[in-house]
């Protein structure tokens, strides 16, 4: 089976940097996704890590350590629109359609 | 290119009623999945499909059936609705080792 842990809530200030952690324990691992979900909307893709290391994409970066079962999502220059839930999801094989999601981290950005 | 579409957007059922949630995608994706999301929680996989004619169970399949007769369509059937099935249902599609694209969701209430 798979177990994924994320903090439930985080608060940060506009313009700051925030790091959202995700730890996982899986019986098989292929890759880790991060999705963003605004209240009342569908999740949207942010990043996908398969190999160890940091992937940077504009203000958002994602890190993976396969040996430690650990990932983080780093958001820089926070904006009010970044207030959302951030979902960590693990795939146990090459089928992205069979992902196990964490419960999500609700990020609130304050002025 | 409409992406992933779901109907209906909202539905209220009485206990014991049956219904089908529709999902369609026009991106020629082989993988399609159904998730449910309860308040304050992440997504839980109900059923998924790796291609036309092939389906498999996810974490919470009881009370739901699926079929995949075409690449484009992946309907979810509730056999006999129960209050515990009150949730938001998301359909998603994707390719092997790639991100999932989510539909807008169906908000279901079972009285």
Per-residue pLDDT, B95 = 86
Mean pLDDT of the region B54-75: 95
Beta strands in chain A (DSSP E): 2-5, 9-13, 18-26, 31-37, 44-49, 53-57, 60-65, 70-75, 84-91, 99-101, 105-110
How far off is chain B from A91, nearest CA to CA, in Å? 9
Put simply, the answer to whether B99 touches A101 (Cβ < 8 Å) is no
Condensed to tens digits (0 to 9), the pLDDT of residues A69-97 reads 999 999 999 999 999 999 999 987 666 56
Percent of chain B whose predicted confidence (pLDDT) is above 70: 100
Put simply, the answer to whether A97 touches B97 (Cβ < 8 Å) is no
> B111 pLDDT exceeds 90?
yes
**Cα gap A74→A19, rounded to integer Å:** 5
Task: Using pLDDT thresholds of 50, 70 and 90, give the confidence band for residue B99.
Answer: confident
**Cα gap B45→A80, rounded to integer Å:** 31
> B1 pLDDT exceeds 80?
no
Closest alpha carbon to B110 in B64, B75, B73: B64
Do A29 and A48 meet the contact criterion of CB atoms below 8 Å apart? no
Q: Which 29-68 residues of chain A touch chain B by CB within 8 A?
A: 30-31, 33, 41-45, 48, 50
DSSP letter assigned to residue A49:
E
Do B50 and B107 meet the contact criterion of CB atoms below 8 Å apart? no
Per-residue pLDDT, A96 = 59
Condensed to tens digits (0 to 9), the pLDDT of residues A11-67 reads 999 999 999 999 999 878 889 999 999 999 999 999 999 999 999 999 999 999 999
| Neighbouring-strand partners of residue B10 | B107
Task: Using pLDDT thresholds of 50, 70 and 90, give the confidence band for residue B53.
Answer: very high
DSSP letter assigned to residue A12:
E
Put simply, the answer to whether A98 touches B45 (Cβ < 8 Å) is yes
Q: Which two tokens stand for residue B95?
A: 């390719």
In this complex, the residue of B41, B94, B104 whose CB is nearest that of residue A103 is B41
Residue of A nearest to B40 (CA): A103
Closest alpha carbon to A41 in B12, B85, B102, B35: B102
- Residue A25, Cα to own-chain centre: how many angstroms? 15
């Amino acid at each position: 089976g798979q177990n994924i842990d994320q903090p439930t809530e985080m608060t940060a200030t506009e313009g700051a940097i925030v790091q959202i952690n995700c730890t996982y324990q899986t019986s098989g691992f292929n890759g880790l996704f991060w999705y963003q979900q605004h209240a009342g909307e569908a999740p949207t893709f942010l990043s996908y890590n398969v190999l160890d290391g940091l992937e940077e994409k504009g203000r958002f970066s994602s890190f993976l350590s396969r040996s430690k079962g650990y990932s983080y999502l780093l958001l820089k220059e926070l904006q009010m629109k970044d207030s959302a839930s951030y979902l960590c999801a693990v795939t146990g094989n090459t089928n992205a359609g069979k992902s196990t999601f964490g419960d999500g981290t609700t990020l609130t950005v304050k002025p | 290119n409409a992406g992933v579409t779901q109907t209906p957007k909202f539905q209220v059922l009485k206990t014991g009623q049956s219904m089908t949630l529709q999902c369609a995608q026009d991106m020629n994706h082989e993988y399609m999945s159904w998730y449910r999301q309860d308040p304050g929680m992440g997504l839980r996989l109900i059923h998924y499909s790796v291609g036309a004619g092939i389906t498999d169970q996810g974490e919470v399949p009881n009370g739901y059936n699926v079929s995949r007769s075409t690449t484009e369509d992946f309907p979810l059937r509730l056999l006999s609705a129960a209050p515990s099935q009150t949730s938001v249902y998301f359909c998603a599609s994707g390719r092997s080792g790639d991100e999932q694209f989510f539909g807008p969701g169906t908000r279901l209430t079972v009285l």
